[in-house]
């Protein structure tokens, strides 16, 4: 990265802080990606400096319970007082504040959905069914995303609602230049209503979003808002292309799902659809004013597409955002409220555990006489219940199984095996409707392994990935096994149950570092097999070579896999074997 690049990105980061400070709730907030460190702290500090007096910044941990966020019945106080006492939630109390959400990528879907809803409706849902309308809550969210590499980013539904996306990864700085002052922010706030965005710029931002392959209609709208704020911060009554370019860098570029061609001419003028319903004052802008800004905005967006995203996009792979769009719908969603009842235990109820009233009363019953003996308690409610008496119901839910297919797509195996592997994946996937399991697909060929299909139960996505799977080249078995081990470990960390199905002839000929040669490659493969065993997943090794060999058997033993020589495999046998591995 050139120094100018770095300087430019830092300038944008400072601008983003000021823009957010002007209208936190209008923008929803910012998704701030990057490791915890000096730069992130500096950025948060500059945000604090930009906030007018009275503006608050509050940190919220990602694991804050639902009850704490939204408010809940305070059971202890209710019991003590003999009348309902509702503890108000953190979100309602945070009206007008910026919430800094640490570890946003670890936020479970359920909580993310609550945040999204509060941002959308600007009110906190009532704690109890029919309670009256609650006060408006204006919030801005600073979602700190510390995910790296293959980690899942924060839930897509939440990211989509946060206008600004800023990536600090790879940036270094020990100080940030001061941005606009709090006074400038106040001035911008008062000017904002009178600041306009010319129609041509609005059109240009929308066009850029379209060319960058951004589907959400929120993105261009948010870009227009950012443009307006940028103009207001600069004291302009009407936004200019420079403001829109900044918005394109902060809002559109990070959401890109494709890179527009270098010389993307404006699309041929399409005949405007029947627009008779458009009020007259919203007339078409002059065509020439459009051209003047055309390239600036799109160019700004293109140049600002984050490096890693750009690489992924140009390599034709699915971008990180889209690939992991499923977020974490896995084991965590299955809270303790699901599944088979598994008894009752002591503990206070919360958003995820329901009080078992009968058992609570049963626990309290033997003590009533003693408790009433305490002076002043004779007139208390009929039953004296204390915190220790509380019992909650627990449920046991099966953890979700993810079957990871590791497919040898090398020249030796490709021709006669690839089609079967594809068939098996589709068959297992079809079962997933019923069992709610997921599949993932790792393919290895030439010099590396590639995660073709992140864990999913979507047939649509699976078929897309499978269609892209091509064969040919060497056999980097070690790389494939390592990729599977990494993915398995990831799934285990999240409470899922991974099973690995390796389809290969076991004849490695590319070492881990990509160099050819049978000796090194086989050593590496053995080491990788050991690592896979340590990952703790159940493994099925399907020997796909026409004549099953002892080497493959040995390898299977090393990873403590079930060994299944399958010279004439068909998709159905494979699917059955994979399913039996799960013990079902």
Write out the binding residues for another protein, residues 425-484 only, by CB under 8 A. 426, 430, 433-434, 436, 456-461, 463
Residue 11 interacts with another protein (CB under 8 A): yes or no: no
365 forms part of the interface with another protein (CB under 8 A): no
Comparing CB distances to another protein, the nearer of 103 and 125 is 125
Rule CB under 8 A: say whether 224 interacts with another protein: yes
Report the nearest approach of another protein to the CB of residue 437 (Å): 12
Told to check if 73 binds another protein by CB under 8 A, we report yes
Q: What is the DSSP letter of 538?
A: E
Q: Does 165 bind another protein (CB under 8 A)?
A: no
C-alpha torsion sign, points 556, 562, 566, 571: negative
Per the CB < 8 A criterion, the answer to whether 75 and 355 are in contact is yes
Asked whether position 523 contacts another protein by CB under 8 A, the answer is: no
Q: How many of the chain's residues bind another protein (CB under 8 A)?
A: 87
Q: Which has the closest alpha carbon to 436: 398, 466, 408?
A: 398
Q: Per rule CB under 8 A, is residue 4 in the interface with another protein? A: no
Which one of 73-81, 182-190, 505-513, 522-530 is the stretch in contact with another protein (CB under 8 A)? 73-81
Query: Taking CA 233 as the corner, what is the angle to CA 228 and CA 236, rounded to the nearest 5 degrees?
Result: 70
Q: Which of 9, 33, 109, 445 binds another protein (CB under 8 A)?
A: 109
Among 149, 272, 280, 583, binds another protein (CB under 8 A): 272
Strands laid side by side in the 438-445 sheet: 448-456, 438-445, 401-408, 497-504, 538-543, 562-565
Q: Is 105 in the site for another protein (CB under 8 A)?
A: no
> By C-beta, is 335 or 473 nearer to another protein?
335
Sole binder of another protein in the list 1, 237, 357, 419 (CB under 8 A): 357
E strand or H helix that includes residue 456:
strand 448-456
Output 158 or 542, the one with its CB closest to another protein. 158
User: Residue 352 corresponds to which tokens in the numbers above?
Assistant: 């995820």
Residues paired with 403 in a beta bridge: 439, 499
Least distance CB 249 / another protein (angstroms): 18
Q: Is 3 in the site for another protein (CB under 8 A)?
A: no
Nearest CB to another protein, comparing residues 225 and 507? 225
By CB under 8 A, residue 78 contacts another protein: yes
- Residue 140 touches another protein, criterion: CB under 8 A: no
> How far apart are alpha carbons 177 and 518 in whole angstroms?
55
For residue 558, the minimal CB distance to another protein (Å) is: 35
408, two tokens: 């040898």
User: Residue 334 has what DSSP assignment?
Assistant: S
Q: At what angle do helices 550-558 and 518-535 cross, to 10 degrees?
A: 40
Task: Decide whether 335 or 517 has the Cβ nearer to another protein.
Answer: 335
Using CB under 8 A, which residues numbered 292 to 311 contact another protein?
none
Measured distance CA(96)–CA(420) in Å, rounded: 57
Residue-by-residue DSSP string for 193-225? TT-B--HHHHHHHHHHHHHTT---THHHHHHHH
434, with CB counted inside 10 A (0-12, 13-18, 19+), is: exposed
Q: Is 375 in the site for another protein (CB under 8 A)?
A: no
- Does 560 engage in binding with another protein (CB under 8 A)? no
CA-nearest of 146, 132, 171, 500 to 154 is: 146
The reply to whether 102 sits near another protein by the rule CB under 8 A is no
Q: Which is nearer to another protein, 40 or 255 (CB)?
A: 255
From residue 309, how far is each of 51, 65, 184, 255, 455 by CA, in Å? 31, 33, 34, 9, 20
Q: Least distance in Å: CB of 267 to another protein?
A: 6
- Minimum CB separation of residue 63 from another protein in Å reads 14
* 197 part of the interface to another protein, by CB under 8 A: yes
Of residues 214 and 485, the one with the C-beta less far from another protein = 214
| CB 140 to another protein: min, Å | 16
79-98 positions binding another protein, by CB under 8 A: 79, 82-84
Cβ–Cβ < 8 Å for 346, 414: no
């Amino acid at each position: 990265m050139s120094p100018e690049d770095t300087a430019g990105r830092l300038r944008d980061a400072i601008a983003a802080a000021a823009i957010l400070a002007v209208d936190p709730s209008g923008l929803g907030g910012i998704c701030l990606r990057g490791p915890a460190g000096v730069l992130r702290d500096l950025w948060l500090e500059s945000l604090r400096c930009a906030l007018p007096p009275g503006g608050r910044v509050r940190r919220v941990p990602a694991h804050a319970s639902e009850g704490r966020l939204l408010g809940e019945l305070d059971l202890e106080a209710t019991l003590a007082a003999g009348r309902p006492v509702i503890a108000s939630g953190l979100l309602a109390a945070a009206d007008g504040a910026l919430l800094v959400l640490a570890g946003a990528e670890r936020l479970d879907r359920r909580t993310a959905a609550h945040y999204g809803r509060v941002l959308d409706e600007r009110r906190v849902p009532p704690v109890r069914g029919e309670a009256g309308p609650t006060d408006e809550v204006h919030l801005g969210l600073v979602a700190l995303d510390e995910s790296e590499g293959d980690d899942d980013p924060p839930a897509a539904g939440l990211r989509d609602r946060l206008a600004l996306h800023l990536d600090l990864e790879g940036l270094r700085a020990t100080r940030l230049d001061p941005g606009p002052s709090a006074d400038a922010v106040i001035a911008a706030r008062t000017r904002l209503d009178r600041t306009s965005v010319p129609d041509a710029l609005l059109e240009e931002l929308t066009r850029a979003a379209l060319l960058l392959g951004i589907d959400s209609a929120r993105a261009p709208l948010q870009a227009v808002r950012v443009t307006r704020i940028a103009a207001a911060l600069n004291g302009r009554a009407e936004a200019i292309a420079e403001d829109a370019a900044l918005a394109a860098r902060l809002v559109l570029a990070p959401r890109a799902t494709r890179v527009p061609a270098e010389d993307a001419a404006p699309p041929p003028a399409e005949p405007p659809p029947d627009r008779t319903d458009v009020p007259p004052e919203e007339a078409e802008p002059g065509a020439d004013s459009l051209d003047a800004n055309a390239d600036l905005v799109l160019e700004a967006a293109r140049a600002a597409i984050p490096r890693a995203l750009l690489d992924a996009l140009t390599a034709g792979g699915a971008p990180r955002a889209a690939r992991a769009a499923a977020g974490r719908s896995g084991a965590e969603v299955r809270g303790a409220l699901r599944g088979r009842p598994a008894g009752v235990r002591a503990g206070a109820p919360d958003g995820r555990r329901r009080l078992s009233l009968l058992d609570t009363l049963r626990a309290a019953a033997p003590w009533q006489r003693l408790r009433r003996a305490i002076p002043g308690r004779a007139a208390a409610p009929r039953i004296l219940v204390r915190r220790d008496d509380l019992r909650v119901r627990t449920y046991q839910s099966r953890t979700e199984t993810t079957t990871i297919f590791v497919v040898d797509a090398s020249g030796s195996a490709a021709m006669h095996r690839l089609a079967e592997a594809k068939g098996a994946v589709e068959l297992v996937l079809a079962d997933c409707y019923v069992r709610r399991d997921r599949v993932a697909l790792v393919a290895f060929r030439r010099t590396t392994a590639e995660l073709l299909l992140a864990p999913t139960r979507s047939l649509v996505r699976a078929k897309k990935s499978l269609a892209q799977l091509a064969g040919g080249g060497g056999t980097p078995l070690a790389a494939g096994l390592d990729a599977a081990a990494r993915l398995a470990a990831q799934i285990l960390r999240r409470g899922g149950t991974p099973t690995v199905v390796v389809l290969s002839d076991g004849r490695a000929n590319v070492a881990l570092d990509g160099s050819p040669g049978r000796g090194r490659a086989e050593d590496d493969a053995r080491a990788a097999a050991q690592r896979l065993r340590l990952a703790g997943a159940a493994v099925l090794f399907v020997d796909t070579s026409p004549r099953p060999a002892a080497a493959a058997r040995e390898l299977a033993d090393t990873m403590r896999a079930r060994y299944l020589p399958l010279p004439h495999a068909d998709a159905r046998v494979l699917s059955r074997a994979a399913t039996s591995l799960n013990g079902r």
